[in-house]
């Protein structure tokens, strides 16, 4: 079908937007000619401005014939008339100013009509089968494809209508332009296709959506902020999955300052949660680079880690209770502020880290902490990863529980940040490794400063630290963390790369890196190794960028699989894990069986089969269900 015109019967929305566009276009043409030519022309020679109507005249036939490119082109050009109208409405006086205001209004109406028409045409293209063509070579492919679309539509339309009744039409998205942001994963590695996106506003609405989908055997993909890194919260390519976005469920339900706890809904953005705790004079320690957009439901579903696991633990360790919608739509009411509850199985831990495959987390009770009296950061330069481990040991010894963060970065990782973000200059870039330490002290700033300086002096005396600086103010501390958190963004700017999220005992990491670096040099000569991560809890992001003179997509295609095999094999040999904090998703679902105990996998399948026997919750993520599971 010619995408620039339509020969099928137009929908009511298509006709309405076409008529609105045509009417506002003709009125605008008349206004331009009459205004500039007769009513209030600029002097002298202002009547020549009436020629600005010519481009609009050229658009009239395209609007009549519903040529899609005309509507797209006009929706861009019309802004020139809008800007002119605004400028002259403020600068002219009398009739000219009033006519300029009318031009502005008509420009806005024309833009809205054109944009609405484009959107209506996209929506109509999904609902109507392709009209017959006389070209034999293309007829079979098009007719089969559209017959399939029509069949899918007839099967799914009753569900979509029921969901619209439950949530309201505005919260059931079906237009392709509306779905795009939900269907592509954060790393842009995968783009799926959903039946629709639903946006419930309450736990009851989530329950109703799940029940409606369960009755029809339609699978559901829960999604929070869509910041995951293992393709775990976007739909597959079938076009038959309902994507359930929790972003409207963002309320902070209650802060219990006396109990040091907080109840929040799953769609609450992590930064919003941190702010709510801070407003109560308290502290929520989970901190991630994506905290401005990731949601607490997603954090719990993946058991997120972050930079302060060393002191406060993973998301799992911060959770006191959960509210969960099960696969049959029933609601598990498990919110609780209790630190101790020994009345049976700890059910919340079934759902934390399950990536939405066992139930949909809708709210959580979380721990809060007293705000530290002082937080200090130091940046140290080191010659080797072994020296980083020695410094970590000294920090544990001298700072004790006050050590809340210990990050390491290799020279190449910091070089990428400097390359793509020139304003972020890391201290001591000439050294092979740098460490960023955080001390959270409950006594005073002076006490923290004394402790940190004493640690660095001792480390320099013992030869494991070559140079160091302490952030003397909040601005410098923020810049240090900004550098650390920009590594991932710099990698994305550099191109596609092979990412790993591994965990080992801190003492094993230098041996792993030495061996894997050597083997990777032989496997993929010229590869650039970007190592950084949370050494304090044994979590390393061991990433591999292709050589500078190669296409990153080609490198990924040719080397991703053998590099993954090499890295995972070496991690497994040292007793580590192939996923420390990102989860499994669909990216590692077929890798997991090679590195997980068979009995553990069998038990996971039995749990999944018990809680979700129809496999409707995020199927194909974390674990694949065998036919006999």
Per DSSP, the residues of 261-316 read EEEEETT-BHHHHHHHHHHTTEE-----TTTTT-BHHHHHHTT---TTHHHH--GG
Flag the least confident range among 58-72, 236-250, 275-289.
58-72
Token pair of 60, please?
């009239």
**What was the pLDDT predicted at 9?**
52
**Residue 437 tokens, joined:** 């330490």
pLDDT at 155 exceeding the cut of 80 = no
Q: Count other Cβ atoms within 10 Å, centred on residue 310.
A: 24
Close Cβ partners of 404 (under 8 Å, ≥ 6 residues apart): 285, 308, 310, 311, 312, 372, 375, 438, 439, 440
Kindly indicate the confidence band of residue 4, based on its pLDDT and cuts at 50, 70 and 90. Answer: very low
- Identify the pLDDT of residue 86: 83
- The 10s digit of each residue's pLDDT in 193-230 is 999 999 999 999 999 999 999 999 999 999 999 999 89
Give the model confidence (pLDDT) of 585-600 as tens digits.
999 999 999 999 999 9
The whole-number pLDDT of residue 322 equals 98
Report the range of poorest mean pLDDT among 15-24, 273-282, 365-374. Answer: 15-24
pLDDT band at 124 (very low <50, low <70, confident <90, very high): low
Count CB neighbours of 224 within 10 A.
28
pLDDT in tens, 78-113: 888 888 778 877 777 777 778 888 888 888 888 888
Where residue 71 falls among pLDDT bands split at 50, 70, 90?
confident
Is 608 in contact with 629 (CB distance < 8 Å)?
Answer: yes
Instruction: Tell me which of 211 and 138 has the higher pLDDT.
Output: 211
Residue 42 confidence (pLDDT): 56
Query: Residues of the chain with pLDDT > 70: what percent?
Result: 90
Which pLDDT band holds residue 128 (cuts at 50, 70, 90)? very low
pLDDT for 628 equals 40
Of the pLDDT bands very low, low, confident and very high (cuts 50, 70, 90), residue 258 is very high
Q: Is the pLDDT of residue 26 over 90?
A: no
Contact between residue 5 and residue 65 where contact means Cβ atoms under 8 Å apart:
yes
**Which helix (H) or strand (E) element contains residue 512?**
helix 509-523
Report pLDDT for 15: 82
Q: Specify the pTM.
A: 0.75
The Cα 577–Cα 591 span in angstroms is 12
Does pLDDT of 145 surpass 50?
no
Out of 26-35, 251-260, 312-321, 534-543, least confident range: 26-35
486 or 94, greater pLDDT: 486
Question: Is residue 502 pLDDT above 90, yes or no?
Answer: yes
Token pair 């976005």 in the structure block, residue: 245
> Does the pLDDT of residue 334 top 90, yes or no?
yes
pLDDT for the residue numbered 1? 39
Q: Can you tell me the mean pLDDT for 474-488?
A: 93
More confident residue, 489 or 357: 357
Mean pLDDT of the chain: 88
Task: Give pLDDT tens digits for 351-389.
Answer: 999 999 999 999 999 999 999 999 999 999 999 999 999
Q: How confident is the model at residue 17 (pLDDT cuts 50, 70, 90)?
A: confident
Section 609-626 average pLDDT:
95
Judge whether 379 and 427 are in contact, CB under 8 Å: yes
Higher confidence at residue 583 or residue 57?
A: 583
Burial of 344 (0-12, 13-18, 19+ CB in 10 A): exposed
* pLDDT recorded at residue 64: 76
Q: Look at residue 141 and tell me whether its pLDDT is greater than 60.
A: no
Stretch 468-483: mean pLDDT, rounded?
93
48 or 448, higher pLDDT: 448
Contact 535, 406 (CB under 8 A): yes
For position 47, what pLDDT does the model report? 63
């Amino acid at each position: 079908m010619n995408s620039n015109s339509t020969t099928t019967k137009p929908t009511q929305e298509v006709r309405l937007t076409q008529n609105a566009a045509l009417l506002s276009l003709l009125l605008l043409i008349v206004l331009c000619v009459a205004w500039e030519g007769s009513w209030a022309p600029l002097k002298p020679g202002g009547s020549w401005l009436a020629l600005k109507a010519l481009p609009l005249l050229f658009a009239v036939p395209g609007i009549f014939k519903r040529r899609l490119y005309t509507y797209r082109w006009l929706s861009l050009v019309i802004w020139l008339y809008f800007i002119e109208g605004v400028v002259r409405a403020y600068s002219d006086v009398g009739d000219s100013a009033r006519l300029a205001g009318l031009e502005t209004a008509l420009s806005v109406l024309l833009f809205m009509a054109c944009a609405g028409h484009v959107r209506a045409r996209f929506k109509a293209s999904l609902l109507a089968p392709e009209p017959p063509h006389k070209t034999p070579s293309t007829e079979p492919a098009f007719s089969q494809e559209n017959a399939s679309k029509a069949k899918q539509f007839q099967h799914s339309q009753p569900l979509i209508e029921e969901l619209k009744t439950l949530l309201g039409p505005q919260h059931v998205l079906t237009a392709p332009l509306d779905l795009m942001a939900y269907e592509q994963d954060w790393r842009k590695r995968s783009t799926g296709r959903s039946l629709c996106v639903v946006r419930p506003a309450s736990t009851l609405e989530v329950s109703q959506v799940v029940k409606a989908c369960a009755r029809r055997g339609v699978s559901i993909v829960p999604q929070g902020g869509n910041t995951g890194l293992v393709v775990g919260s976007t739909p597959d390519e079938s076009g038959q999955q309902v994507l359930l976005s929790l972003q409207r469920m963002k309320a902070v339900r209650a802060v219990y300052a006396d109990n040091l706890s907080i109840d929040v809904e799953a769609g609450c953005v992590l930064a919003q949660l941190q702010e709510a705790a801070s407003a109560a004079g308290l502290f929520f320690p989970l901190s991630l680079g994506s905290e401005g957009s990731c949601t607490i439901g997603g954090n719990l579903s993946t058991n997120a880690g972050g930079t302060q696991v060393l002191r406060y633990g993973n998301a799992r360790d911060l959770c006191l209770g959960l509210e969960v919608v099960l696969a049959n739509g029933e609601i598990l009411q498990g919110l609780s502020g209790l630190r101790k509850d020994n009345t049976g199985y700890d059910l919340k831990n079934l759902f934390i880290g399950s990536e939405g495959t066992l139930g949909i987390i809708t709210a959580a009770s979380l721990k809060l902490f007293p705000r530290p009296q002082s937080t200090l950061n130091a940046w140290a330069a080191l010659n080797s990863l072994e020296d980083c481990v020695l410094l970590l040991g000294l920090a544990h010894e001298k700072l004790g529980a006050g050590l809340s963060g210990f990050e390491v970065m290799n020279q190449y990782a910091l070089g990428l940040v400097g390359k793509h973000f020139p304003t972020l200059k890391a201290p001591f870039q000439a050294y092979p490794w740098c460490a960023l330490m955080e001390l959270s002290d409950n006594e005073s700033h002076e006490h923290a400063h004394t402790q940190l300086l004493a640690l660095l002096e001792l480390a320099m005396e013992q030869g494991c630290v070559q140079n160091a600086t302490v952030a003397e103010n909040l601005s410098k501390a923020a810049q240090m963390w900004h550098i650390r958190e920009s590594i991932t963004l710099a990698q994305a700017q550099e191109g596609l790369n092979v990412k790993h999220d591994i965990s080992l005992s801190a003492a094993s990491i230098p041996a792993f890196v030495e061996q894997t670096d050597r083997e990777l040099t032989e496997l993929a000569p010229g590869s650039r190794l970007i190592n950084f991560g949370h050494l304090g809890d044994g979590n390393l992001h061991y990433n591999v960028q292709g050589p500078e003179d190669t296409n990153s997509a080609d490198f990924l295609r040719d080397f991703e699989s053998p590099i993954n095999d090499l890295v995972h094999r070496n991690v497994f040999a040292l007793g580590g894990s192939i996923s420390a904090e990102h989860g499994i998703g669909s990216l590692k679902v077929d890798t997991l069986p090679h590195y997980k105990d068979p009995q553990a996998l069998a038990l996971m399948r039995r749990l999944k089969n018990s809680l979700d026997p129809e496999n409707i919750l995020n199927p194909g993520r974390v674990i694949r269900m065998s036919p006999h599971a």
